[in-house]
Chain A
């Protein structure tokens, strides 16, 4: 049984033009310690999907099972990183992280909570910015605080919602490497699901990539395994044969679904994705 198991997940929203089906028949298995990226275009329902997986919203149908337990709300084992940082502006970087630590380890002594929070910030290179408020930090530094907040609670499951989408290209590169290090440098590997619209980012960080394919009609996105050795760098990916193949596969899946999509997509369409039987990139190269 996979660590995160998603079966027949469906979600629709009421809209002026009738019920809008955002997701339908979503099926996904994520193994313990695996890094899975879900890649899709804007408005394809990726964020909705992640909210469902994390238990932030509840589905209309289907089930999400995390570590054998059905997800009905936000799990204590999970952490979340949002695209827009979601830091509390009235708290310093340290206080923001401490709030998470206090909630995750309520029985720990205050000094211990502070030590954990400080360490988490030091790991992302913000040891000298502990007392700064979010508005005194650059976008990249804010997202580092947000990463520190997520890792400080020692989560077993990590949900990343376009974590670097709001950053400039250079900052994004640096943070992607930071994230890769944070994920790798742990005794117990964290299981991660990341939402992104960048194929390159997905190849850089993931073990497996699942394209979201927007309908109608509902179509399947076949997952692709990325078997490149770590640590990976963007420069290396630019010429690597397997990376090139993975890129082509994902882009082809996304563009195909774009072409099938009607011009007027406001009525929406069910999106299906199945990720239980991954295709291997290397075998088809």
Chain B
């Protein structure tokens, strides 16, 4: 009984959201109804890996392009953010030095970074990676830093009493103690990277879910916009879940 309810309640929520969507489509003539969206989009979903030309590909293929770009930007971001977080966590001098800059850089929108990336790198692909990396790194920097600061005095005492070298202290105490915080940072960073990808693809017109969305808007196929939006949401949700699982496994071990 309880399991039935657990299944039924989300379905009710989805039904109500679809109802609201349908209501809105009656009021706004350009907005396709859920059913029309399905009719016009089903070729992308039923043949998710079809390649019919640069601007006409199955939805999974488009999502794959976006994911690959996100993966590269995200890895670049955390490759910079993780050591930076450790440094800031260990040294209060460095924190005081860089905290103001960090607080200023953090709230800058990806849309603002992208033109700078284009100026710096002249090409859209590295500019997109730049924007993803620079936007998504902050949660990792901050969480890693907090993780290092939250290491209990007990563990520092162990390092002192056993007279561990700096390297040993780092690998055997600081890194393992910070790991859970770091992973929370990675999870948040990945979420932001996925937000940035859509914006950067829209601006640079590269193939992917975001590029597809912008292109279909320009071709006035509004049903495909909705398809792209739903895809972005579902993929983002799946990414977060995957990172959540990885995090839970890490905490359990």
Interface set of A (CB-CB < 8 Å, partner B): 54, 56, 74, 76, 78-80, 82, 84, 86, 88, 90-91, 99-100, 102-104, 153
7 more A-B contacts (CB under 8 A) besides A86-B158, A88-B176, A91-B172? A54-B161, A82-B154, A86-B155, A88-B158, A99-B172, A102-B168, A103-B163
Which A residues touch B157, using CB under 8 A?
56, 80, 82, 86
Which B residues touch A153, using CB under 8 A?
162
With A82-B154, A88-B172 already in contact, the answer to whether A99 and B163 are too (CB < 8 A) is no
With most chain A CB atoms within 10 A of its CB, the pick from B160, B161, B172 is B161
Residue on B nearest A103 in the bound complex, by CB? B162
Q: Tell me the smallest distance from the CB of B157 to a CB of chain A, in Å.
A: 6
Structural contact, B173 and A74, CB atoms closer than 8 A? no
B156-199: CB near A (< 8 Å → 1, else 0) gives 01101111110010001100110000000000000000000000
Q: Tell me the smallest distance from the CB of A76 to a CB of chain B, in Å.
A: 6
Interface set of B (CB-CB < 8 Å, partner A): 154-155, 157-158, 160-165, 168, 172-173, 176-177
Contact of B163 among A74, A86, A88, A91 (CB under 8 A): A74
Q: DSSP class of B's interface residues: helix, strand, loop or mixed?
A: helix
Cα–Cα, bound, A54→B162 (Å): 12
Residue on A nearest B176 in the bound complex, by CB? A90
Q: Tell me the smallest distance from the CB of A162 to a CB of chain B, in Å.
A: 14
With A90-B176, A99-B172 already in contact, the answer to whether A74 and B160 are too (CB < 8 A) is yes
Cα–Cα, bound, A100→B158 (Å): 9
Which B residues touch A102, using CB under 8 A?
168
Cα–Cα, bound, A80→B154 (Å): 12
Which A residues touch B173, using CB under 8 A?
88
Contact of B154 among A86, A90, A99 (CB under 8 A): A86
Residue on A nearest B153 in the bound complex, by CB? A86
Closest 10 CB pairs of A and B: A80-B161, A90-B176, A86-B154, A103-B162, A100-B162, A86-B158, A103-B164, A74-B160, A74-B163, A103-B163
Residue on B nearest A87 in the bound complex, by CB? B158
Cα–Cα, bound, A54→B160 (Å): 10
Which A residues touch B177, using CB under 8 A?
90
With A79-B161, A88-B173 already in contact, the answer to whether A103 and B154 are too (CB < 8 A) is no
With most chain B CB atoms within 10 A of its CB, the pick from A88, A91, A102 is A88
Q: Tell me the smallest distance from the CB of B92 to a CB of chain A, in Å.
A: 18
